[in-house]
Structures are given as C-alpha cells and as structure tokens.
Amino acid sequence: MRFYILISMIVLAAGCSSSPPASNGNAANRPAANSNNTVASISTYQIVNTFPHDPKAFTQGLDFHDGFLYEGTGGKTGDDFFSSLRKVQIDNGKVLQKYDLPREFFGEGVAVMNGKIYQLTWRERTGFVYNLDDFKLLREVRYSGEGWGLTHDNTHLYMSDGTHVIRVVDPETFQTVRTIVVMDEKGRPMMDLNELEYVNGEIWANVWQTGWIVRIDPQTGKLIGRIDLRDLAEREIESTNDADVLNGIAYDEATGRIFVTGKNWKRLFEIKVNLK
C-alpha cells in the first residue's frame, strides 16, 4: 500500500517495481502460473450498512475477528512515520485498543490467525507478531522486498508486495512456501495487488488506485473475477478532503458479511457482492 501523498515526491512507480520473490528451483517453490485466457466476470455490489470510520486512519490493512475489526494504519509527517494497530468497534467506529509502531516503521497489512495478529511494514522488511488479547508484541520477523497486503487461510499467510506475485508464507518462520503469479485476461502481470482478504476459498485483492477488487484462485493464480467499487471510492474521495483510495477488505466468515473502507475515509461499508 502506498502512501499517496508521496507520489509526487518519489514517483511511486517504485511501489510496483519490486522484483517477484526468487524461487530456489524446488518444485514446491515454483510460481503457480495463471493460464486464464477468458474475460473475468465483473460483479456489482449493494450497500447493506454504513458505519463511522476514523477519517484520520490511513487504512493499510483490515481484518475481522470475533465481532471486531482489526485495522493497520500508516502515515508520515516530515521524516517520521506514524502507524498503528487498532481494534475497532464496528457499529460506532470506536478504537478500543491501539498500539503505535515505532516512528521508523510504516505499517501495512494485518491478519489475525491462531490467537496472534501479524502486521507488515512497507519498506522496512520487518513484520510484527502480537498477542491478540492484549496487543503485546511477541516478536519481530524479517522478510525480503516490500510488504503491502496480508491475509491467511488458517494455515499460511498470504502476502502481497505491490507486484503481480503473492507469497504464501509460513507464519512461524516467515519463509516463503510457494508463490502465486497473477496475470490478467490478456496474459499480462496483474500489478499493484494490495490489501488482501481470504473470502470463501478465494483471495480478494484490492488493486491499488483503481477502485477494483480482483478475485484470485489461491492454488493457480487464475483471475476468477472482478468487483467494481469505483463509484463507491469516487464518492468517498469527493466527500472528504483528505480521503484517499479504496483500501481495506474484511470478511466475517460466520455470517458472510463483507466490509470495505479506504484511506482516511469517514465511513466503513458493509456490502453485498452480486457474484458472477
């Protein structure tokens, strides 16, 4: 996820130019190729509920667990980053718990799994593992390349880095188990894969700056479909001075609810996606 204000300063094409993780040549580590040559279906949505969202939260990651949202934020003032991990009450947007990252780290994607919260950082190549109950920092982990989005399938973490490659990561060692290569319908790299969510056996990925979410087969990398949220993103950006791009997908597996928001958005939306 990129810090949008930095675009004019650092030509954020760099955010999507990171090289895909290298394979060590083992069969298990070779990227899953996307052989999809058909046009992906386009799904629409309906707004089911609207909730308050902290308009100062530059949302980088979003996850749902046991009735609450867990949100990772990033930001920058001068030479300092200001990033956080938050537990948020959905109905009123109240921040119930918060951990502020050290100023040298720009926070990114988050995922809740097996009593722990995992959080990436952008270019610092450092991840944080917290205890779910009290946000106590348990350990730091290192990885190569950039950190953008994060999700899980209850066994492995799935990590994006702004390219068309998603890494499947061991949550204990943070070593890459395998990689998933995502191509579009014309066989071109599906770049700028950002915030991730594991939804009913699929990976849903926000495509940075577009207002689109793409649905990906986690085994093959095949593009299953697209979800068009461009109008929702445009309305939010126009309604709030500091509002930035769509970024934040959370899935309530028990009820099927889906939540979306964006960077500095004043609202969080529960949506129903009309899958095709």
Examine the pLDDT at 34 and tell me if it is beyond 80: no
Q: Which helix (H) or strand (E) holds 98?
A: strand 95-100
pLDDT at site 79? 64
Per the structure, the count of domains in the chain is: 1
Residue 17 lies in a domain: no
Q: Give the tokens for residue 37.
A: 């040559």
Residues 6+ apart with CB under 8 A from 60: 1, 72, 73, 74, 83, 107, 108, 109, 110, 195, 247, 263
pLDDT at site 179? 98
Residue 82 lies in a domain: yes
Q: What is the dihedral of CA 56, 60, 61, 62, to 10 degrees?
A: 30
Mean pLDDT of 131-150: 97
CATH number at residue 127: 2.120.10.30
Examine the pLDDT at 17 and tell me if it is beyond 90: no
Domain coverage including residue 61: 4-12+32-274
Look over the chain and give the mean of its residue pLDDT values, rounded to a whole number: 88
The 8-class DSSP code of residue 32 comes to B
Residue 258 lies in a domain: yes
CA atoms of 102 and 28, how far apart (whole Å): 36
Examine the pLDDT at 1 and tell me if it is beyond 80: no
pLDDT at site 235? 95
What digits encode the pLDDT tens for the residues 83-106?
999 999 999 999 999 999 999 999
Examine the pLDDT at 120 and tell me if it is beyond 50: yes
pLDDT at site 21? 36
- Under the banding of pLDDT at 50, 70 and 90, the label for residue 159 is very high
Mean pLDDT of 95-123: 96
Examine the pLDDT at 29 and tell me if it is beyond 50: no
Mean pLDDT of 2-21: 36
Examine the pLDDT at 14 and tell me if it is beyond 80: no
What digits encode the pLDDT tens for the residues 224-261?
999 999 999 999 999 988 999 999 999 999 999 999 99
Residue 21 lies in a domain: no
**Between 175 and 14, where is the model more confident?**
175
Rounded alpha-carbon distances, angstroms, from residue 131 to 113, 120, 137: 10, 15, 7
What digits encode the pLDDT tens for the residues 47-63?
999 999 999 999 999 99
Residue 58 lies in a domain: yes
Residue 106 lies in a domain: yes
Residue 207 lies in a domain: yes
Examine the pLDDT at 214 and tell me if it is beyond 80: yes
Mean pLDDT of 182-200: 96
pLDDT at site 76? 75
Mean pLDDT of 159-172: 97
**Between 26 and 203, where is the model more confident?**
203
Q: What percent of the chain has pLDDT over 70?
A: 84
CA atoms of 179 and 158, how far apart (whole Å): 9
Mean pLDDT of 202-231: 97
Residue 138 lies in a domain: yes
Examine the pLDDT at 31 and tell me if it is beyond 50: no
The pTM is what? 0.85
